[in-house]
Structure 1
Amino acid sequence: MNSKRTIAGLAALALLAAGCSSKAVKKDGVGADGVRTGPGVSAGTITLGELADLTGPFAANDTKITNAHRLYFDRLNEQGGICGRKVALEVADHGYDVQKATTAYSDLARKVLGFSQVFGSGVNAALVGRYAADDVLVYPASGAGPLLKSRNILGAGSTYDYEIINVLDAWLGDGTVTRGDTVAHVYLEGDYGGTAISGSHYMAGRHGLTLKEVKIKPTDTDLTSQIAGIKNTGAKAILVSATPKQLGSVAVASQSAGLTVPIAVNGPGWSADLLAGASRKPVLDRLTVTQSWAVPSMDLPIVRGFTAAYAKKYPGAKVDGHVTLGQSSAVVYTKVLQQACADKDLTRQGLLDAVGKLKNVDTGGLLPPLDYTRKGRSPSTQSLLLRPDASVPGGVKAISEKRHESADAAAYTPEYAE
């Protein structure tokens, strides 16, 4: 083969790769207002990307999160936006498919400042190396702890392990479970379930509980056989870190099997749709939801105003805690943008630098106080404990509007923390 042709061919391929790479983006510059600008930032606009699950297993929840983001930034723009610029969202649906998400990310990363949402623990785990290469700040719409090892991840609230620790602490406190009892934990494979099971492992070892682990896949929909196995262990309670449909299967199958024990689920596993059909009775009777963000039934002005605006913009849509999760995460991303604006640095590096300056972040009660100065750690260790209630907006009500934080949570050091 002619060496000159080979070299020319390789050069052409390199140029093509550069054009397709997410690194082929606008270079940093300085605007007329003296603010440094990077990819996705013009004189009048800040463009953020969103990779959402609008058609996959979490679509019912993430559609609400995504629409809440759209509404929040529309309202923010009416108030002047950020740094005199409107915030625009570029949304792509990945359907909880990693390959689709990877392709969509490559397209969006060339034209956005950062990502105000990439939904799904598995998707984020696959892309986190790309985030680092591209210097983008990403809200992962996930409480998976290992993601926090990356400086590119913006957590919002407590991680899934702290949610489990706090609900188990509450159960130990009220006698729902006691030392020597068996507790089952049904959890999805991957970082979502893997983070949650770390919390139950920790509490089992600390309080002499026997843990029955039941790992499932996203495609598992009928959990009757798993519940039969749990019943045979004599479990006194069931933890669930899975999808709403899988929670529904756990609730119905346990009711049918006569296993009428308490159930707790991480926030992503709850949906008000479970208050209809066969799941209604076991959910109302036995379920606790553990999460850190506020829900529509809470008496907070910031919640009331936003949920009313959401209902007006999306008439007929159910307003539940995923609307307020979208509101909460958008508020946190806005706090970062505002800090970057104050620093006169709307570049990708400027956003990353801004995060580390945020301590004791106040979101008006949407989330507990957040601390982003502890690298690799959850910004909060507190959780709300909620009970389904068909009579309230969103179908779930806080047992106490004061968030739960146990001594166990304060003493816990996750394996993923630095």
Structure 2
Amino acid sequence: MAVSLDISHGNAAPAIGVAPAVTPAKPSLVGMSREELGDALRAVGVADKQVRMRVAQLWHWIYVRGFTEFDHMTNVSKELRTTLAHVYSMTRPEIVAEQISVDGTRKWLMRFPPRGAGRPVDIETVYIPEEGRGTLCVSSQVGCTLTCTFCHTGTQKLVRNLTSEEIIMQIMVARDRLGDFPDIDTPQGFSVPSEGRLVSNVVMMGMGEPLYNFDEVKKALLIASDGDGLSLSRRRITLSTSGVVPMIARTGEEIGCMLAISLHAVRDDLRDVLVPINKKYPLAELLEACRTYPGVSNARRITFEYVMLKGVNDSIADAKKLVKLLEGIPAKINLIPFNPWPGSDYECSDWEQIEVFAEVVNRAGYASPIRTPRGRDILAACGQLKSESERMKRKDREALEAASGAAG
């Protein structure tokens, strides 16, 4: 059963149901690169010789302390604080819903204000607590264009790309809600903890294809991995792609994060159905891009995600073919029991078959953990994310039709 959870902490976001929807007219400083932040300061009259210092101060208050109010930035002059508050914002998105699974997984439905002439958009972000780490599954788009047939998100049409602000805000909100930022009264000069953070890992595996939004994803992940801010190790940031081959090398060169491939089939004819982008970038091209991924090594293995679909891709022959395909690539293979969603045509493979499949892969020398499904009861598991607004729209239509019928 999904429940609302109030975990307000220090400077954390208000409890669910307290904060109204916020539509800031002012541009946000969150999500700006250091260079853009410098330009923003110059725009309000900060002298060039002070810009570097002021950028460092703001960076600390925004990303180390998690502050949302300029008034708390005690080493910034009152005059500059007043000017910044008049021109810029650091407002968090509205949290429309917050759910907690029986297994401790949390899911947030966040609403971002309109961009240009657009409308507000809703996205989902999932936090998975595990022993020794906490993983945040972050979205890069509202909806998706890829139409992978086993994925719930793929049934929602693409609305738009998320901005770097909206991507990084997902991490900020999670740290707010989990109490992962220091209390507002913590001394200014405190040291940033290197361990013990509840959000220790980030995976770009939420809604959307990250490599179809490369520039904004890159900017957000470079902010997330900045050692003077959110300070996530690049080895703890994983970007998952369905196979946008031309962008894979750039990911390694320009972002330097870990790579995951949403594989799911070992034959082009089947992958054309399960992951239709395969028609554009077939397996041979995809795997060659993996072999040459910058920085790939036994210490920085590529993760191959393989959803287990009963009678579709789970045979012993498939397992043997998988091993052959990945020969020469430092790899780990995540076997993912299929997570059902309303209207899906697929079933999860029998557990015994998954174990036999894993044994074949293990014997070949590849680590092949079977991912324990998390958050299924709140539709937060792999492949289940879909903007709640889509489900709500359907419910609204059904209610309206029912009311019209009753009135007639």
| TM-score, length-scaled by structure 1 | 0.28
| TM-score, length-scaled by structure 2 | 0.28
Greater helix fraction, Structure 1 or Structure 2 = 1
